[in-house]
Amino acid sequence: MPLDVIMPALGMAQETGQIVAWHKQPGDAVAKGDVLFEVETDKSTVEVEAQADGFLTDVSANKGMDVPVGQVIAKISDSAESAPQEGAKDGAAAATDALPEGKQVIMPTLGMAQDTGLLVKWHKAAGDPVATDDILFEVETDKSTVEVNAGADGFLAALLAGEGEEVPVGMTIAIISAEAPANPVTRKTSAAPVASKTAQPDTDAPPTVKQARPQAKPVPAKDRRILASPKLRRLAREQQLDLARLVEAGYPQPFHVKDLELLKSLPSGAASGTGTAQTASCLTAEISTEGFTAFSVWACETADLPDPSAILAGFCAASMGKDVNVAVETPGEVKTYAACTRLRATEATDAAPQIRLRDLRFTAITTVQVGAEEVPTLTLTRLGEGLSITFEFAKGHLNAKDAISLLSNFAGRMEQPLRHLL
């Protein structure tokens, strides 16, 4: 049965992607992992790989086109011939046309380099009424399990993926209709195509995301999915290199092409470094109002500090009371800075980070509990007019006294930046 090729979601707030180039032509044979096309967003250009073996058919988007996230742009079929056209549809195609109209719910992007999500559990059944803030399903990535809200009022007219299935990011997994459905649809992604010709993704109301309870049995590091760019995966496969060795050596994910030489340089059977499968401690600070946004504007205009991420790195160093390398992550981008206690920070591309700051203020994520990572991690999320600041660290990163001091100092700087410059 043909597999839909869709425009993937590559960023937290991405609505469309522009096709830069096709690497395969209609009728070409493709293997799972082959680069099919390149797509450009406002952040980057990414190579998208085939998810199955077969032949590329039914290409409906040309080079240079802007395509909505979740829209079907081609198929991977069992033969080089295109699917039957109108009037000659098989049972599966007819079943696709039978999907109800409504808002499409897609598999969301929850990580910097996430390709798929494991659908853990549906909280609603086909035909059930749903409200915008109702929890619709749980999805697991390599980092955590999160609960995803419906994002719209209505009725759950179709469930198009089953519990336990790995679903590509951006694929339609449910449809919410305005009217109660006479015959609700329930399918799995392996049983039938999931894209409706009538329902378009509602980009004005993206699903909100809340943190679910942590998993009772953590997955061993060797069994976790590895975050890596499609190009690096392809090159590593061609050169018979194992990306798991970077994980075992303790290097931070996601991995990119620049990490290929590092992978080549690792000795066989590299021992585990700092590791990530450690018991985590978690502290949270909440401030009712934040002064950082206005401060960063002032710093840009009067103090020649145009990079807000560099200022955040400087706040980290000042809060720790020592010069430190800080990795600042925002959706779609990671920068590492050599930061000093005088709130100055310069980019240091090749430096190994000693602390991470994950800035999620401008995303729908409101609660975070990822667990211990290779370095201590501060995460910023919105809390009304203020901020919630989560600090996660492993035993051996630093002691409780220093962790409390760091978080307290950093929260104070985010609340009243000018006061802490005195």
Radius of gyration of the chain (CA): 23
Q: What is the DSSP string of 88-119?
A: ---HHHHHHHTSPPSEEEEPPP-STT--EEEE
Closest C-alpha among 160, 67, 44 to residue 106? 160
Question: What percent of the chain has a predicted confidence (pLDDT) above 70?
Answer: 79
∠ CA 137-206-126, rounded to 5°: 35
Q: What's the pLDDT at 91?
A: 43
Query: 């092409």: which residue's tokens?
Result: 257
Q: What's the pLDDT at 212?
A: 40
Q: What is the DSSP string of 337-372?
A: EEE-TTS-EEE-TTPPPSEEEEE-TTSSB-------
Q: What's the pLDDT at 274?
A: 40
Condensed to tens digits (0 to 9), the pLDDT of residues 300-312 reads: 888 888 899 999 9
Mean pLDDT, the chain, as a whole number? 79
Q: What's the pLDDT at 143?
A: 60
Q: Is the pLDDT of residue 131 over 90?
A: yes
C-alpha to C-alpha distance for 38 and 56, rounded to whole angstroms:
15
> If you average pLDDT over residues 22-29, what whole number do you get?
90
Instruction: Choose the weakest-confidence range: 60-64, 154-158, 274-278, 362-366.
Output: 274-278
More confident residue, 156 or 248: 156
CA dihedral over 11, 373, 212, 382, signed as positive or negative: negative
Q: What's the pLDDT at 203?
A: 44
Q: Is the pLDDT of residue 216 over 70?
A: no
Instruction: Choose the weakest-confidence range: 33-47, 84-98, 238-252, 348-362.
Output: 84-98
CA dihedral over 157, 160, 162, 163, signed as positive or negative: negative
> pLDDT band at 413, cuts 50/70/90?
very high
Condensed to tens digits (0 to 9), the pLDDT of residues 367-377 reads: 888 777 888 99
Condensed to tens digits (0 to 9), the pLDDT of residues 245-255 reads: 888 888 877 77
Q: Is the pLDDT of residue 93 over 70?
A: no
> If you average pLDDT over residues 323-344, what whole number do you get?
89
Q: What's the pLDDT at 144?
A: 66
Which tokens sit at 1?
Answer: 């049965």
Q: Is the pLDDT of residue 43 over 70?
A: no
> If you average pLDDT over residues 28-50, what whole number do you get?
83
Phi and psi (nearest 5°) for 265? -80, -15
C-alpha to C-alpha distance for 27 and 77, rounded to whole angstroms:
9
Q: What's the pLDDT at 83?
A: 52
Instruction: Choose the weakest-confidence range: 94-98, 240-244, 291-295, 383-387.
Output: 94-98
What angle, rounded to 10 degrees, do the helices at 308-320 and 292-302 form? 110
Instruction: Choose the weakest-confidence range: 2-16, 30-44, 249-263, 324-338.
Output: 2-16
* Paired sense of beta strands 72-77 and 54-57, if any: antiparallel
Per DSSP, the three-state class of 70 is coil
C-alpha to C-alpha distance for 50 and 34, rounded to whole angstroms:
5
Q: How many helices (H) and strands (E) does the chain have?
A: 7, 25
* Paired sense of beta strands 333-339 and 345-347, if any: antiparallel
C-alpha to C-alpha distance for 329 and 370, rounded to whole angstroms:
14
Q: What's the pLDDT at 98?
A: 65
Q: What's the pLDDT at 316?
A: 94
